[in-house]
Amino acid sequence: MRFVFTSSLLFAIALVPLCAHDMWIEPATFSPEAGQIVAVKLRVGQDLLGDPLPRNTGLINQFVVEDATGRKPVVGREGADPAGFVRVANAGLLVIGYRSNASSTELEAEKFNSYLKEEGLEAVLAVRNNRKESGAKARELFSRCAKSLVLSGPSNASQTDRLLGFPLELLAEKNPYALRGGEDLPIRLTYENKPLAGALVVAMNRMNPSEKVTARTDKNGRVRLRLHPGGMWLIKAVHMIPAPAGSNADWASFWASLTFELRGKVTG
């Protein structure tokens, strides 16, 4: 995995504590009309309480929207919140994606170990224990891979989420806006376009973020989540690997997120 690292991350870190926090895309509406311009906000925080992440060109690797006609850049003004704007050309499902360049941070041992446990990264914790590093600070490169599904017009099963080619990516294998009553949402997690097994996937709803739905991916990188209707959902996963040689870091992490809205009643 090739990392892009820029000094502009110092500005971003001064704004919000980026590491060990979720990052997600929050459009002004998940149900726009055709022709409408939708503000796209980036948020960083925990339990869906987030601080604004203004547009910072130095941090953006990709910021795109894809619909049935193809992929386009999400436009915006430097330093602004919302970070971008999307024009809904036609009815259908839009996939908005944001991928960041790698940023660097250093955490005290206790905070790093705690975050590994919280994000289901016990394998990394075990490596640190085996190396007798559990009491040492950790230097980390981290990258964000966020997506959001926005539906204009009526839903149908033929409208699908799409892979954007992010290093770590969550893919809804069924249109969440077309779910029927009692139906699970199948999710696939990929790392470098291959299924990622054994990763913790967490889903939370804005109306009650403390009641999380969790599952571990199977050998095909898949989980099935039973999500109640109503409100915005955030699905997230984190993957960590040893940092590449010469990066001046111990570990490299990738944070994937997917947001969408389940309306008051599911279909059926």
- The pLDDT value recorded for residue 15 is 38
pLDDT digits (tens, 9 = 90+) for 96-155: 999 999 999 999 999 999 999 999 999 999 999 999 999 999 999 999 999 999 999 999
Confidence band of 6 (pLDDT split at 50, 70, 90) = very low
Give the number of other Cβ atoms within 10 Å of residue 197's Cβ.
14
Confidence band of 196 (pLDDT split at 50, 70, 90) = very high
pLDDT digits (tens, 9 = 90+) for 201-256: 999 999 999 999 999 999 999 999 999 998 999 999 999 999 999 999 999 999 99
- How far CA 229 is from CA of 43, 124, 201, 211, 212, in Å, comes to 23, 35, 19, 14, 14
- The pLDDT value recorded for residue 263 is 79
Considering all CA atoms of the chain, what is the largest pairwise distance in Å, rounded to the nearest integer?
58
| Token pair recorded at residue 70 | 């193809």
End-to-end CA distance of the chain: give it in Å, rounded: 43
pLDDT digits (tens, 9 = 90+) for 42-73: 999 999 999 999 999 999 999 999 999 999 99
34 within 8 A of 89, measured Cβ to Cβ = yes
pLDDT > 50? residue 189: yes
* Helix, strand, or coil (residue 8): coil
Confidence band of 264 (pLDDT split at 50, 70, 90) = low
- The pLDDT value recorded for residue 265 is 55
pLDDT digits (tens, 9 = 90+) for 60-109: 999 999 999 999 999 999 999 999 999 999 999 999 999 999 999 999 99
pLDDT > 50? residue 268: no
- The pLDDT value recorded for residue 14 is 36
pTM assigned to the model = 0.91
250 within 8 A of 109, measured Cβ to Cβ = no
Nearest to 134 by CA among 142, 143, 125: 125
- The pLDDT value recorded for residue 157 is 83
pLDDT > 80? residue 19: no
Nearest to 148 by CA among 132, 166, 134, 131: 166
Cα 34 versus chain centre, distance: 26
Please give the average per-residue pLDDT across 31-38, as a whole number: 97
Cα-based angle 44, 48, 51 (whole degrees, multiple of 5): 35
